[in-house]
A = this chain, B = another copy of it.
């Protein structure tokens, strides 16, 4: 097992991405320029990490800022929790979106977008990752390469945001240690590590938010990276990290669940029949 990881964001300007751009080609150009400048080109076993923002921009997932609330509604599969906000702002909505991700505002984002617009998440980030992976394999003649598409998300119970993987291809989404044993020969109680989320978090540390560095490379995780092409090599993607609803103990916000219970309780009459 490798015990050293190198993570870098190429120090090469990335162009402003426009709808219809061949994003995979732009990423390959960036990595080629970085490799030429540093003498250390992308290599077998590397994972290339790409922000969802540039994927969305290339896909033209831009809507007018005035349509932001409608865009959130359109992206929403299920409302999880809402909260009123002061100052006449529309309520905060934490929802499950089309991708199965539970996020504030469905992941609709207003930073690093052209004035007067907001950005929706990519249509299918796992497929986008697969496309970038195929381009990297062809352009650099590599076999074993992984791609992760990231977004920034909040977490219940903890302040601050971290990057997570919303798309992945050619890299194991998880490291399943079930069946493994610890140094004492006892079964590992920590069973499944969300590898691609940890990759996304590591990449954020070199990319930053305001610096126009939408691409990073992670070296040292070849044990998680797959060779070959096609769906088997791409693997299950980041979608596989979405927890099934049957295992979700936080499917509704506390206030929402309480309100539903209260209404159900009020509707009952002693003896069990509804009023």
Q: A residues near B, CB below 8 A?
A: 1-11, 16, 81, 83, 94, 96, 101-102, 109-115, 152, 155-164, 173-174, 177, 180-184, 186-195, 197-199, 201-202, 204-213, 220-221, 240-243, 247-268, 270, 275
CB-defined contacts of A94 to chain B, threshold 8 Å: 249
> Once bound together, how far apart are the Cα atoms of A189 and B152, in whole Å?
11
Is there contact, CB below 8 Å, between A188 and B111?
yes
Is there contact, CB below 8 Å, between B5 and A202?
yes
Given contacts A206-B3, A257-B257, A261-B262, is CB(A248)–CB(B8) below 8 Å?
no
Is there contact, CB below 8 Å, between A4 and B7?
yes
Given contacts A3-B11, A7-B5, A206-B5, is CB(A193)–CB(B157) below 8 Å?
no
Partner pick for A264 among B152, B211, B248, B265, CB 8 A cutoff? B265
Is there contact, CB below 8 Å, between B173 and A190?
no
Q: 22 A-B pairs, CB-CB below 8 angstroms?
A: A2-B206, A3-B11, A6-B7, A81-B250, A102-B156, A110-B186, A111-B182, A111-B190, A113-B184, A156-B249, A157-B248, A158-B164, A158-B241, A160-B193, A161-B193, A162-B194, A193-B209, A198-B201, A198-B202, A257-B257, A258-B260, A261-B263
Interchain nearest-CB distance for A239 vs B (Å):
11
Given contacts A11-B3, A201-B198, A212-B183, is CB(A174)–CB(B160) below 8 Å?
yes
> Once bound together, how far apart are the Cα atoms of A266 and B110, in whole Å?
44
**Whose C-beta in chain B lies nearest to the C-beta of A267?**
B265
CB-defined contacts of A3 to chain B, threshold 8 Å: 8-11, 206-207, 213
Instruction: List 9 A-B pairs, minimum CB-CB distance, nearest first.
Output: A265-B265, A261-B261, A160-B194, A257-B257, A202-B202, A261-B262, A201-B201, A258-B261, A198-B201
Interchain nearest-CB distance for A147 vs B (Å):
17
